[in-house]
Amino acid sequence: MDRLDNNVRPYAWGSTTAIPRLLGVEPTGEPQAEMWMGAHPGAPSRTPRGPLNEVIEKSPEHELGGRTVARFGPRLPFLLKILAAGAPLSLQVHPDLEQAKEGYADEERRGIPVDAPHRNYKDANHKPELICALTEFDGLCGFRAPVEAADLLAGLGVDSLKPYVDLLHAHPEEAALREVLTAVLSADPEDMAHTVTEAAAACARLGGAYAPYADIAHHYPGDPGVIAAMLLNPVRLQPGEALFLGAGVPHAYLNGLGVEIMANSDNVLRCGLTPKHVDVPELLRIVRFEANDPGVLRPEASPDGEEVYETPIDEFRLSRYVLPEGAAPHDLTRPTPQILLCTAGSVRVGDHLLAPGQSVFVPADEQTEASGIGTLFRATVIA
């Protein structure tokens, strides 16, 4: 197995303190948003044998195992991250696998460069993801019931929001949500900026359930995504709780530190809270206009002490071990590749003693035991 040296991405929304605090190092004063663990070519983890993507390319059957290669091809199917949100991320959705293949093929045919700012599909893969909280973690996930969204908007007392309130009351659920999101994102930018300014002032004055939207508007003044965000369910995760984000589900992370795992893709359709490109017609094709509960996940414990976050996805499987003092070593050997990440305490994995924020890559079928006192996350695949 290999100790990983991981890249930290300095996105503007990142916390300046959360990742340094986890790692036990001094903050630099710059935002540190995501620490990537994996073989994504944009920021592969480094190993003593070279970048992890190159290590896997040289010997995919050995590193990933025959079952993983047969199922997903000669690449690591997942990307693991530590995510530290100090400000809201963009409001976004991800395509399903068929939509991603269609969208990627279409943009390839039209000759749109992969790095073009108006390009939607960087690859032909879907991007389901799971976020597990390490601290209290705030986010938005999935649509509220239209009547609840209508009541929230009506409570602001902003005249220019009344047409949206009426739409939410007057139509069936899917049509109501579709029409309102379309209207918000297609409105005259100057008129919408004025509406958002009024709504933000009302949110700040009212507080309570409106407080998160005042904070969002502070970071993204005049952005139509502030109104779109009010159509979604707010959710607060406690440490150890998680959210699964499937295809077409609008979501945004607002604040907190967590472990995130996703299929190895970079396909994002944005709804707002961003200066980046928003492709409204394509977004509306991808969004699933269904009101539902965010569905907070709690891990299911197995007899050997592994706590698994169950999802309907095979490209990744996230679990954790909470190791108490005096516990016997856990055999972690699997026929699939693994990344093991310590988030608390001190955990020995093979010859490596891991402190919080440290990780290792374990090739398929390599004999592996874990012991110590702390918390160890395990990322692998189902193959």
Could you please report the per-residue DSSP string of 89-113? PPEEE---HHHHHHHHHHHHHTT--
What are the Cα distances from residue 68, in Å, to 232, 287, 337, 369?
Answer: 36, 30, 8, 21
Known catalytic residue: 270? yes
| Nearest Cα residue to 281 out of 271, 267, 291 | 271
Whole-number Å distance between alpha carbons of 161 and 184:
10
| Torsion from C-alpha of 128, 98, 122, 48, nearest 10 degrees | 50
What are the Cα distances from residue 157, in Å, to 160, 176, 212, 326?
Answer: 9, 20, 17, 59
Stretch 207-211: mean pLDDT: 96
Q: 3-state DSSP call for residue 143?
A: strand
Structure-block tokens of residue 68: 């993983």
Whole-number Å distance between alpha carbons of 4 and 294:
33
In this prediction, residue 239 carries a pLDDT of 98
Burial class (CB in 10 A: 0-12, 13-18, 19+), 135: middle
Contact 143/289 with Cβ under 8 angstroms?
yes
pLDDT, tens only, 5-39: 999 999 999 999 999 999 999 999 999 999 999 99
In this prediction, residue 176 carries a pLDDT of 95
Whole-number Å distance between alpha carbons of 269 and 94:
6
Point out the catalytic residue in the list 75, 144, 270, 317: 270
Q: What is the DSSP string of 335-375?
A: SS-EEEEEEEEEEEETTEEEPTT-EEEE-TT---EEEEEEE
Whole-number Å distance between alpha carbons of 109 and 91:
28
pLDDT, tens only, 76-100: 999 999 999 999 999 999 999 999 9
Q: 3-state DSSP call for residue 221?
A: coil
Whole-number Å distance between alpha carbons of 68 and 363:
11
Residue 266 has pLDDT above 90, yes or no: no
The pLDDT confidence band at residue 230, using thresholds 50, 70 and 90, is: very high
Structure-block tokens of residue 188: 């005259």
What pTM was estimated for this model as a whole?
A: 0.94
Residue 41 has pLDDT above 90, yes or no: no
The pLDDT confidence band at residue 42, using thresholds 50, 70 and 90, is: confident
Whole-number Å distance between alpha carbons of 292 and 336:
34
What are the Cα distances from residue 319, in Å, to 11, 42, 86, 242, 358?
Answer: 27, 25, 25, 11, 16
Residues 6 or more apart in contact with residue 205 via CB below 8 angstroms = none
In this prediction, residue 122 carries a pLDDT of 87
Q: 3-state DSSP call for residue 13?
A: coil
Contact 357/35 with Cβ under 8 angstroms?
yes
Q: 3-state DSSP call for residue 324?
A: coil
Return mean pLDDT, the chain: 95
